[in-house]
Chains A and B, each alone.
Chain A
Amino acid sequence: MAKGKKKNLYLYGVLLCFIGIIIIFFVDGYLGVYSTVYIKSMEQEQRFEFEIEQEWKPYIFARWGDMISFRYEIDNRSFFSYPATVEVSLWRGEKQVTELFRENVSIRPFDKKTLNWMLDTAKLEQPMGSDANYTLKIIEGKTEQEFIVTVGTVYIEEPPYPKEVPPPAPIPIK
């Protein structure tokens, strides 16, 4: 093989490897259906992506009586439409407490869909003494994600000031 042709073969190989890396990033990393949930509780918003594996179940903290708002985004980055049923329910142990949301969605290729729902903690049992833990399950098609919802007790604090000042002790007159 001529030396010039051999050099060009190596360059073509480099180019093919580079194009292969780009294709893998596009097909495996970009294409697909991606779900993200934004949870707003106690004036803080948390973001969870379903595709990224979590080492432990995410926690949501709230005071009893607060409203927790959820915004669920489904991003369909594929060439086909994506039909699914989104079900959200609250559990305590093995018992379902309530169903929060249920909707059938069909998302067109390269389109997004946003779903919103709320959790009113005032409708739950008021925790007495210690915090109450619930499991929030979000099921989208075949995927399921669980969150731990901790509902804290409401403490009524006494104001520190003004405190009642005791009357001065009478001064003995000699």
Chain B
Amino acid sequence: MLNYILYGFGILLCIAGVVYLAAEYVKYISEWGKLACLILTIGMFALLGKYFEEIGW
């Protein structure tokens, strides 16, 4: 149970960090950089979904 809480906490902190970076620096990123970030974000959530599928959630 504690492991899941720690995983959740870590994921929340990662999301908070990305949101902060997005708010501060996204206006300076080039169009190609924004496209690459979008593709990586989709890939990240797709792989996360596959992981949860593998562990049976």
Contacts and interface: CB of A to CB of B under 8 A. Distances in A.
Interface of A: 3, 6-7, 10-11, 13-14, 17-18, 20-22, 24-25, 28-30, 32, 34, 51-52
Given A7-B54, A29-B21, A24 B29 contact: yes
A13 B47 contact: yes
A28 B28 contact: yes
Contacts of A25: 21-22, 25-26, 29, 37
Contacts of B43: 13, 17
Interface residues of B, number: 23
B44 A28 contact: no
B9 to A, nearest CB: 16
Interface of B: 14, 18, 21-22, 25-30, 33, 36-37, 40-41, 43-44, 47-48, 50-51, 54-55
B40 A10 contact: no
Nearest to A13: B47
A51 B27 CA distance: 9
B54 A24 contact: no
B51 A28 contact: no
Given A29-B25, A30-B25, A52-B27, A24 B48 contact: no
